[in-house]
């Protein structure tokens, strides 16, 4: 009977140690998770800023038809200058 009580006491002690270990690990994981969440928020902010910059740059690029028309106008001006020189 005494050995059974001692065995039960040992198991309770092991369970208490395991509980403390798991609580420490859980606290560490919560801290790591909080750090990762903060890092993720920073990355999301940077991504949104980059998206805004790229969108602004894309708005500055003329449509393809306009770019082709501009090239045609430039080529016409160059050809006209060549004819004037000759």
pLDDT per residue as tens digits for the range 58-72: 999 988 776 555 666
Distances in Å between the Cα of 48 and the Cα atoms of 37, 38, 44, 61, 62 are 16, 15, 6, 20, 23
Domain span including residue 48: 2-85
Give residue 70's pLDDT. Answer: 60
Give residue 85's pLDDT. Answer: 60
Could you tell me the pTM of the whole model?
0.57
User: CA torsion sign, 75 to 76 to 81 to 85?
Assistant: positive
d(CA 63, CA 72): 14
Q: How many domains does the chain have?
A: 1
63: left (phi over 0), alpha (psi -120 to 50) or beta: beta
């Amino acid at each position: 009977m005494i050995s059974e009580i001692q065995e039960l006491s040992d198991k309770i002690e092991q369970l208490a140690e395991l509980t403390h270990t798991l609580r420490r690990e859980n606290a560490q994981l919560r801290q790591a998770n909080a750090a990762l969440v903060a890092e993720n928020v920073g990355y999301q902010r940077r991504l949104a800023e980059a998206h805004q910059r790229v969108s602004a740059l894309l708005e500055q690029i003329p449509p393809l038809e306009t770019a082709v028309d501009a090239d045609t106008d430039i080529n016409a001006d160059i050809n006209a200058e060549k004819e004037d020189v000759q």
